[in-house]
Amino acid sequence: MPAIWEEPDFDDHELVQVVRDRASGLTAIIALHSTHLGPGAGGTRFWHYGDPAMAMRDALRLSRGMSYKNAMAGLPMGGGKAVVLADPAGTKTPELLAAFGSAIDALGGRYVTAEDVGMSEADMVAIAAKTRHVTGLPPQDASQVGGDPGPFTARGIFYGIKAAVAHNLGTDSLSGVHVAIQGTGSVGGGVARLLAGEGAKLTLADVNADRAKALATELGGTAVAAEAIMDTECDVFSPNALGAILDDAGIARLRAPIVAGGANNQLARPEHGQVLAARGILYAPDYVINAGGIIAVALEYLAREHGQPSSLEEVHRRLEEIRGRLTAIWDESKASGRSADQVADSMAQRLIGR
């Protein structure tokens, strides 16, 4: 096994820490990519990995993505991510969460965690019993930010899809625009409901086929098998499940002129952004379009740290900026001949001093 700093996805990370707690059974990886702009902020993923090496890969890739995401969103936060390795049964105990909270607290505020795949608002509350460096906690009242960041992520993706449709299809209306959505959980389901509200035609798929079917029935869409969604002829393919789906084989299957969705690390490798561009497919860089959740939880955390109430109005103002940010990337991509992901990466790297 290579040293961590020899891993392909290691990118001069400031800290990569493996946390073990025998009593609770905790095994976790905390990765800080950059604290150039502020404390590293990013969620905790609770997942069972058949190959533990994939957990390290996730932590490295996701933390780097958070550096880029937070920088591009204009947040005074760096990039970090945590992965808690679940057993096959997904056993999660109060003792395990407490041990993880203590590990975060030991970093003295260098890493701020939040909810991600496999974690819940209740889990964030449990972690908060051991550290104040956690966000996504229940709001004090309806005017403040807090709780599940999923709906904010979904709204940002919705704005991004609207921007992509306007840029590539030349229309500000989503009426009749066919969107194929991969993943119908908190984020993908939220995106689907927002799109349906503006008259979009929906094809839905999820590894939980019953969930996709139920949502399709609710929204008047069509459900297809999870393995068929990337072959759907549509106007927009919106990946909202796990990442690394845009590899050579996946891109070859696409029958859509736009890819715009919330899954993290959609490109299997950096060169796949150029493969998309070569096919004439407009790509919304994932860490730009899916920034809604971190915008919400970061503003919640910063307000609490300064003893101020958080503002839903400010969150929604920043979510709307996602449209303009994507359009600027696509405009520069066209002018420079570089793929959209290359343009976004260059912008983000400048912002974090790299």
Contact 153, 183 (CB under 8 A): no
Handedness of CA 219, 221, 224, 226 (dihedral sign): negative
Give, as one character, the DSSP assignment of residue 255.
Answer: B
In sequence order, what are the residues at sequence separation of 6 or more whose Cβ sits closer than 8 angstroms to the Cβ of residue 254? Answer: 230, 237, 279, 281
Return the residue matching tokens 């974090």.
352
Write out the DSSP string of 94-137.
HHHHHHHHHHHHTTTTSEEB-B-TT--HHHHHHHHTT-S-B--P
CA dist 233 and 253 (Å) reads 10
Q: 176, 234 in Cβ contact below 8 A?
A: no
Q: Give the helix/strand (H/E) hosting 302.
A: helix 292-305
Indicate the DSSP class of residue 139.
P
Catalytic residue among 69, 81, 130, 162: 81
Residue with token string 């819940």: 120
Q: How far, in Å, CA of 55 to CA of 156, rounded?
A: 27
Residue 262 near residue 293, CB atoms below 8 Å: no
* Residue 26 backbone dihedrals phi, psi, to 5 degrees: -70, 130
Active site annotation includes 81: yes
Contact predicate 202/216, CB 8 Å: yes
List the structure tokens of 260. 């715009």
**Which residues are catalytically annotated?**
81
